[in-house]
């Protein structure tokens, strides 16, 4: 449901690594489960020990962030915010407050297409093959009764978050993964690690280049043929996020309904099967990719074109491709 849960498609973006030249640098990789998702960590360093220690630091940092913002860990700050919904404001660390503030900015920017209070949504849509008919309009309306970013009150002076309605919940999900990958990239750069990748279930922050000097590159999955890559894009900016609906969806009356739910209406997103966003920040790219899936092609393009630092590839349910002019993806055919 809605991009920010574990249902979010993982590995829609496939990392392509070229052969390494004989240099003094070494590459170490590790895959671990963090934030309920798979994280793939790649570090380029001068020796194996430094690389492995850096991976350990990345894991520790993601774990620290998870313990702050997880909505299912009972002792996290966000869990306490949710527990006190409709009761009282809860003081949180400046880091958590700032992340919440940025998320609410996206909610305002997209008129609720992006909403961290989606966590209170009733899970009435099933994408496991068990649904035989659409939920009733009344059930859909009731499913989002406790959702609404307008009812989240922030007090910057006191660093508090207050959910004004009982039963409300907030959760960061994949937005938190994007934030964590950005934080780890910045931490590694500060440590003198000049190249690497932190990929949190498709929210990817990269820096530097491969040991042979070539840029990191990704393959964009063909949503009409999921086992193929239709284009390879060099990463000349530091983050990329893909949201996709082509593995989890239902079809009723010939119309395709994606697993990504519009938090303001309760209806699944329609029209787009894949959105990839490139830019300086994985957190921000995640916000855009989520929002564009919900907004659809017309409104989504209108939004993303206002932010030239972020490039995009949109693929419709019919297989049409729309992209930033610099990417020239329209030349490809699915």
Handedness of CA 138, 144, 150, 154 (dihedral sign): positive
Reading the block at residue 250, the tokens are 């239902």
Dist CA 160 CA 176 (whole Å): 19
Could you give the count of Cα atoms lying within 13 Å of 237 in the half-sphere of its Cβ? Answer: 17
Which has the closest alpha carbon to 313: 275, 271, 283?
275
pLDDT tens, position by position, 251-266: 888 887 878 899 999 9
Domains of the chain, earliest start first = 1-334 (3.10.520.10)
SS3 labels along 128-167: CCCCCCCCCHHHHHHHCCCCCHHHEEEECCCCEEEECCCC
Strand 160-163 and strand 90-91: the pairing is antiparallel
Q: What global pTM score does this model have?
A: 0.89
Q: What is the DSSP letter of 330?
A: G
Whole-number pLDDT of residue 12: 40
Give pLDDT < 50 ranges for the chain: 1-14, 19-22
- Sheet of 225-234: strand order equals 13-16, 217-222, 225-234
CA distance 307 to 328: 17
In this structure, are residues 155 and 162 in contact, taking their beta carbons and an 8 Å threshold?
yes
In the prediction, which pLDDT does 10 show? 36
What is the pLDDT, as a whole number, of residue 18? 53
CB neighbour class for 103 (10 Å; exposed up to 12, middle 13-18, buried from 19): buried
DSSP assignments along 190-208, one per residue: HTT--EEEEEETTEEEEES
pLDDT tens profile 87-141: 999 999 999 999 999 999 999 999 999 999 999 998 898 888 888 889 999 999 9
pLDDT for 248 equals: 76
Q: What is the pLDDT of residue 266?
A: 94
**Cβ pair 332, 221 in contact under 8 A:** no
DSSP string for residues in 258-296 = ESSB-TTT-PBP-SEEEEEEEES-HHHHHHHHHHHHHH-
**Per-position DSSP letters for 241-264, written without gaps between them:** EEEE-SSSEEEETTEEEESSB-TT
Determine the pLDDT at residue 253: 82
127 and 246 Cβ atoms separated by less than 8 Å? no
């Amino acid at each position: 449901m809605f991009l920010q849960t574990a249902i979010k498609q993982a590995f829609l973006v496939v990392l392509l690594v070229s052969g390494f030249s004989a240099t003094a640098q070494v590459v170490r990789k590790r895959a671990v489960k963090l934030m309920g998702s798979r994280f793939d960590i790649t570090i380029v360093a001068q020796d194996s020990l430094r690389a492995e220690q850096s991976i350990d630091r990345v894991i520790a940092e993601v774990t620290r962030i998870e313990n702050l913002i997880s909505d299912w860990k009972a002792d996290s700050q966000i869990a306490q915010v949710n527990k006190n919904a409709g009761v009282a404001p809860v003081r949180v660390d400046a880091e958590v407050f700032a992340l919440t503030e940025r998320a609410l900015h996206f909610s305002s920017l997209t008129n609720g297409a992006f909403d961290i209070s989606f966590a209170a949504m009733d899970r009435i849509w099933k994408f496991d093959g068990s649904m035989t008919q659409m939920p009733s309009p009344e059930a859909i309306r009731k499913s989002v009764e406790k959702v609404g970013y307008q009812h989240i009150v922030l007090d910057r002076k006191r660093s508090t978050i207050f959910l004004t309605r009982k039963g409300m919940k907030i959760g960061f999900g994949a937005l938190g993964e994007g934030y964590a990958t950005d934080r780890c990239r910045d931490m590694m750069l500060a440590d003198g690690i000049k190249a690497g990748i932190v990929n949190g279930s498709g929210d990817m922050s990269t820096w530097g280049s491969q040991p042979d000097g070539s840029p990191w590159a990704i393959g964009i999955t063909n949503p009409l043929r999921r086992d193929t890559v239709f284009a390879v894009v060099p990463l000349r900016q530091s983050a990329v996020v893909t949201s996709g609906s082509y593995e989890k969806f239902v079809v009723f009356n010939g119309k395709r309904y994606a697993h990504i739910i519009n938090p303001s209406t309760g209806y699944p997103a329609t029209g787009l099967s894949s959105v990839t966003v490139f830019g300086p920040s994985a957190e921000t790219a995640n916000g855009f990719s989520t929002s564009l899936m919900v907004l659809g092609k017309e409104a989504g393009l209108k939004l993303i074109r206002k932010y030239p630092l972020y490039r995009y590839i949109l693929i419709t349910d019919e297989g049409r491709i729309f992209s930033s002019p610099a990417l020239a993806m329209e030349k490809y055919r699915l």
